[in-house]
Chain A
């Protein structure tokens, strides 16, 4: 050892009794870390033993890498799509197990309303029909659609909320909505039940048809909702936004506003609502997005 020895603080550590470094400065001793060493041997012997361990380690590691990389690459697109779709469905099931309509998204004071953003024009290419009506299918006690005017909707209890609209792209804005809670709407225009019993929207929602299909008048945009999310107290059939009637680009005359799902599910310019037993088709789910897309 040379004379700059005192500059070198590296010590023999971990369980070697012949050296006792100052305990306070030795991390290994502080936590009683142990070493796992073989008996001393010649360098040739050590290299030999290491060599056989190396071969085994690298062979197993290499094989695992090949299986992983090529397994993923060679998996057919159909298989991969099915796997990923099933994962979406698994996540959806799990979300629904823990779902509670009692949990609410935060609502904000008026000064926290942010600039509105327009995104999505599907299903709104035509001019709004001045004779617009809302059609509702799947109602209890009837087979044909019920036709409502906007005034019929506005007669229902009015609810306002300032909630955060979250776009699936990643941005969000705070919007002041006014309309009727979908659950209030469905309490008046009763959906059919799965077992033909008298519908009780607030009391026994689990007996109702499990899905809702909503489409634009031209049927070019369409979304599917699960019944629990659409009956959430923060899901509205909205006709006002930020203190004024909906503008065409924001979905006049009637749209969904909700804190329970991404903006892709908040369909604008609703033409028809149908309660259904089948999982409805969904515009963006057909392009690979999560059908549920629930928060």
Chain B
């Protein structure tokens, strides 16, 4: 069967993607060192504490206690790199036109639900898609919004006097910290789902974020990053 090489990710996009990974790790790690000093959040249902952020064994295993100063040093260093990389990514999307593949469009939510049901092996139907399916469009756009949210809530905690208007807008210092925390939890959840999906999508898809290219069938022109869909199409 004839094959084609498809360029999936540009060099700039690949660097922006991979540089972001250690930066986000350092932001979350230093954030944990800071959070330990006042670990007040938990998942509670009707006053019953389901899960405390975080149990003692968690801190002890990772060696987190008593490192607040170090956490703040790292956080207020890496925040610049994280911000610069994030802004560069958004500018890149705008200039390159890659936003076309990324932004949700009318009907994305409905189709994203279909994609999710498909991934859970509940429905066979898979909606048409471009480079990314609609679940990916929503997820990848959300993560940009989350990044912006982390910067904004972070600024509100960092400079609550000079940026008092912002802190007040977010409901005050305590709420800004609360949002900053839950945005971080969302990043971790995104990361977990992202990695699981990448593993499920297979080697060819993963390789494309490193090399930029993917081998696709010339005959069907179907993106090879959806092996499940392909198997069905051939059935």
Contacts and interface: CB of A to CB of B under 8 A. Distances in A.
B105 A105 contact: no
Given A88-B76, A105-B164, A289-B72, A27 B130 contact: yes
Contacts of B68: 168-169, 289
B235 A105 contact: no
B38 A169 contact: yes
Contacts of A37: 4-7, 216
Contact of A9 (B2, B127, B162, B210): B127
A220 interface: no
A116 interface: no
Given A43-B1, A50-B213, A11 B131 contact: no
A49 B235 CA distance: 30
B186 interface: no
Interface centre among B34, B40, B129 (most CB of A within 10 A): B129
Interface stretch (A28-36, A145-153, A211-219): A28-36
Contacts of B105: 27, 30-31
Contact of B107 (A25, A64, A84, A91): A25
A287 interface: yes
A13 B129 contact: yes
Given A13-B129, A33-B131, A106-B168, A295 B160 contact: yes
Given A27-B137, A40-B218, A57 B128 contact: no
Contact of A12 (B103, B161, B222): B222
B232 A87 contact: no
Contacts of B220: 12
B173 interface: yes
Nearest to B77: A87
A74 interface: no
A21 to B, nearest CB: 5
Contacts of B160: 105, 164, 166, 295
B212 A53 contact: yes
A79 interface: no
21 contacts: A1-B233, A2-B235, A4-B232, A4-B235, A8-B126, A27-B105, A28-B128, A34-B100, A36-B6, A47-B3, A50-B213, A53-B5, A57-B207, A84-B74, A85-B73, A95-B162, A103-B162, A166-B160, A167-B38, A170-B37, A260-B161
Interface of B: 1-7, 14, 18, 22, 34-35, 37-38, 40, 68-70, 72-74, 76-77, 80, 99-101, 103, 105-108, 111, 124-131, 134, 137, 159-162, 164, 167-168, 172-174, 177, 207, 210-213, 215-216, 218, 220-222, 226, 229, 232-233, 235
Which 5 pairs, one residue from A and one from B, show the smallest C-beta to C-beta distance?
A: A28-B130, A170-B38, A288-B69, A57-B211, A46-B3
